[in-house]
Structure 1
């Protein structure tokens, strides 16, 4: 069952935090930039035409008075600590999702204040009075739906999250991810693909079968699909970690500086991650606890949208320590140096949910990752031979197999054919996902059972009705496109080559004694009076 959550959202928080740190008045347009692009901008800047994703020069061209700040998660977390403290005064047990967003189970405050609407009003007023920050509150089933409700200041009825999310744009999946992380990059690619497929709303995406989403888009898309359906980020199969997974560090001498505490936190993060990895686990909710020399106990929980890497753990610990040691919330400011630091993995999932890329880990310098991978490839070549490790180089050509050249690792990555000149007859996008090294023979038949050919004017002799591959059963043609002719070296009699390609969508053969996939899309090429399977669309 999806838990009912209350989310407190502070709009444009990175801009708010940067402006407060710089003493900038709220009526001055401002934006936070990362990699020379706008990641967050204030409402005043949006009124002048500034938008997320704009380059710095274009943003300042639209708004010459724009004040820009560098992206600084430590600054954002430090400034957000007073807000978390203010919410915790009314609803204990808050979880920081990221600076600017805090969540708490809705049952407690709703029951205490006499309803979700009343609790939302009290929290908004209290945060404004104590922290001096504007915020919005949303209540819904599930963290993602509650976050979207907070952006609209709504209380979604129990069981209504799916209906509430259905008309929203699929871009909300990307907006909800923490910018700059792996989730944000994968979500951006997924959202772009969904829009190109004609799936513009969360409801349209949620209507797809989960099995088809997993097979077509991958594991990251399954998580996004669950969010679009109004479910929890992960199925309710999470484990409560054993006590021995807790890691504790006694700070001797005690520390009262952020840099010293952060140094100890990084080593502690490595220990925690190593202990979880030994058991095949990864952390999704991290409890950070500190004890001072005078016995004061400080505690905060960070909820994470994706399983944490060592760098992710260390970053959140550093942000929280900076908020405690240098924050402005006097209620939580320690009166003595920290003597004990403990990390508590309050919720874990299978480590299969965390899969880093081959070339780099999360937060790792890409150059170091590429160098490490290169050494591994050279080692494999020493064991198995130079051609054991090859990489594809895309070049010119008309057919999918003609455009790829396989180059042994370490050799010059030069294409076989220049990709720049025009290539008449090149197949339009998308390209087949599978290109066999040895194309299988095929038969393309018309309604009368005769072979379908291509005339000298590049027109098929009849509409394809059935296709048989490698002597298998004939399967009906549900749709087809083409042909795309390709005539090469027409001026040289001995080198002239004439081909024509068509795309066909095949249904099942209808034979109950045969196991075969459902609908299959093929790229067929006609050359020398016969058909070959040149590619398969997955």
Structure 2
């Protein structure tokens, strides 16, 4: 197997999308932890799984990007297409990594060394992306060889893996972090030490997850090489009239098609691990891509890959984009395994909630709005971790998985005490907080108020009497950065206007050297 790997691809894709120069340090974060960083950021001390605050303390000029699998897959399509121009049988493992059988291509080009040199030059010339190539027995060993730019001789994959750290088992998307941590605590520091264990002992101690990892450590494929050939009736084909020319419409159709495709496999007790996506345009152009997955695909996983592929096809540059809309789409299970209890919940709720007629009608209405205005037109909020109210939620496009990030419920220093404001203002409303004799209240260097708040004038309006207040609470995030500014929060309850019986509760924020000093950050119900 030959694997072409683009180092730090999430960072490369994020920087390309934002127009960030390659010489600046950058990192991609998920749940305030580093999931990928550039080589320049690593030279400054930034490491994977590092907290955001620590990463920025080591590299204050670090450019921060959010994790976005759709962006990574869309921008990786030109790289896959460039590889496909030289060799056939390309399989996209994940954004940043493709695999191809090496035997046929190496024979055609006159050897593995020649093939590797041609691929690196061709991909770099076509896309401007740096890449590394490795060749070894099996996908796992070839991936680790690509990380080191090595061509491992056939039949020596196990000996190549033996001296490597057992932490190599924790590849992106593998979810083997707990297993790796346990192996290290048991004294199994290398893949060779883990591979030396008998399979019976591995099954008894580590279960099915350990067995799969044990096969990889031995230089074998994660699954046995002989898989059943899927019958033709498992293929799903859909024709479109008018043809698909918009990504949002394609994403909507992908969900329906993915559900039919997965149901057909599940009815036979199968699950797909290699998905073929084939499209034909109105003018007869044929588009194809094969996605290889370590775990059996769920309906959401199938729909994601179809959406990613359409984004790569329809947003490609001039000369690479199809000249007409897609009139036919076909999904083929290139490889299947026994199903692994991939059924839905008791109430068939995709997000774990019960479906009611009202919820279904609302969902159809929201999907209709997405079809008219695009997938980024309807959002729902997901509770996240953070210090301020604006940081404690994340907007997710309707239909995407509404799962909080890891660590959202962890204790956050300087977090605003409960309850949180019901309304958070995107544009701050200026206010004037005054104390005795109308003197404006400010904050001292020790984060104390210069006077007792008595009246608050909102956006130039009439002052309102303060019925109660709490705080102040200083916000000291990024204190190590020269441009960091001291911020202080305070809660106030104001008397209602004349003729109104309802009082108003606000969250105010003070910032040094700003005019006005106080602004409304949020409002409580």
Please report the TM-score for the alignment, with normalisation by the length of structure 2. Answer: 0.65
The match for 1:346 among 293, 316, 334 is: 334
Pair 1:297 & 2:286 matched: yes
Correspondence for 2:314 = 325
Cα distance per residue 1:441-468 (max 9 Å; x no partner): xxxxxxxxxxxxxxxxxxxxxxxxxxxx
State how far apart, in whole Å, the 2-side matches of 1:356 and 1:224 are.
25
Secondary structure of the equivalent of 1:27?
coil
State how far apart, in whole Å, the 1-side matches of 2:346 and 2:25 are.
39
Correspondence for 2:228 = 239
Cα distance per residue 1:489-533 (max 9 Å; x no partner): xxxxxxxxxxxxxxxxxxxxxxxxxxxxxxxxxxxxxxxxxxxxx
Any runs of at least 4 consecutive aligned residues in structure 1 with deviations exceeding 4 A, and if so which?
A: 354-361
Verify the 8 A CA contact 1:177 1:305 in the aligned structure 2.
no
Cα distance per residue 1:384-418 (max 9 Å; x no partner): xxxxxxxxxxxxxxxxxxxxxxxxxxxxxxxxxxx
Q: Size of the alignment, in residue pairs?
A: 356
Shift of 1:253: 2.2
The match for 1:35 among 14, 19, 31 is: 31
State how far apart, in whole Å, the 1-side matches of 2:107 and 2:199 are.
35
Question: Gaps spanning 5+ residues in structure 2: where?
Answer: 357-525
Pair 1:66 & 2:54 matched: no
Secondary structure of the equivalent of 1:240?
coil
Correspondence for 2:132 = 136
Correspondence for 2:109 = 113
State how far apart, in whole Å, the 1-side matches of 2:11 and 2:68 are.
10
Correspondence for 1:16 = 12
State how far apart, in whole Å, the 1-side matches of 2:295 and 2:270 are.
13
Pair 1:250 & 2:239 matched: yes
Cα distance per residue 1:362-391 (max 9 Å; x no partner): x964x639x9xxxxxxxxxxxxxxxxxxxx
Pair 1:6 & 2:36 matched: no
Correspondence for 2:499 = none
Correspondence for 2:456 = none
State how far apart, in whole Å, the 2-side matches of 1:54 and 1:358 are.
35
State how far apart, in whole Å, the 1-side matches of 2:190 and 2:270 are.
34
Shift of 1:356: 7.2
Secondary structure of the equivalent of 2:295?
coil
Secondary structure of the equivalent of 2:22?
coil
The match for 1:335 among 298, 323, 332 is: 323
State how far apart, in whole Å, the 2-side matches of 1:276 and 1:356 are.
12
Shift of 1:265: 0.6
State how far apart, in whole Å, the 1-side matches of 2:193 and 2:320 are.
46
Shift of 1:359: 10
Verify the 8 A CA contact 1:86 1:127 in the aligned structure 2.
yes
Cα distance per residue 1:91-144 (max 9 Å; x no partner): 122010001001000012211221111111110011110111110010001000
Pair 1:92 & 2:80 matched: no
Verify the 8 A CA contact 1:249 1:340 in the aligned structure 2.
yes
Secondary structure of the equivalent of 1:289?
strand
Pair 1:259 & 2:248 matched: yes
Question: Gaps spanning 5+ residues in structure 1: where?
Answer: 372-538
Q: Which has the larger radius of gyration?
A: 1
Verify the 8 A CA contact 1:31 1:45 in the aligned structure 2.
yes
State how far apart, in whole Å, the 1-side matches of 2:39 and 2:150 are.
20
Cα root mean square deviation, aligned: 2.1
State how far apart, in whole Å, the 2-side matches of 1:355 and 1:229 are.
28
Question: In structure 2, do the counterparts of structure 1 residues 119 and 16 end up closer, same or farther at CA, with 3 Å as the change threshold?
Answer: same
Correspondence for 1:57 = 53
The match for 2:177 among 185, 188, 195 is: 188
Cα distance per residue 1:158-210 (max 9 Å; x no partner): 10000000111111111x232xxxx32xx011101111111111111111111
Verify the 8 A CA contact 1:226 1:232 in the aligned structure 2.
yes
Question: In structure 2, do the counterparts of structure 1 residues 356 and 136 end up closer, same or farther at CA, with 3 Å as the change threshold?
Answer: farther
Question: In structure 2, do the counterparts of structure 1 residues 133 and 232 end up closer, same or farther at CA, with 3 Å as the change threshold?
Answer: same
State how far apart, in whole Å, the 1-side matches of 2:112 and 2:353 are.
50
State how far apart, in whole Å, the 2-side matches of 1:360 and 1:215 are.
35
Query: Map of 1:85-484 to 2, 5 A cutoff?
Result: 85-174=81-170, 176-178=171-173, 183-184=174-175, 187-328=176-317, 330-352=318-340, 365=351, 368=353
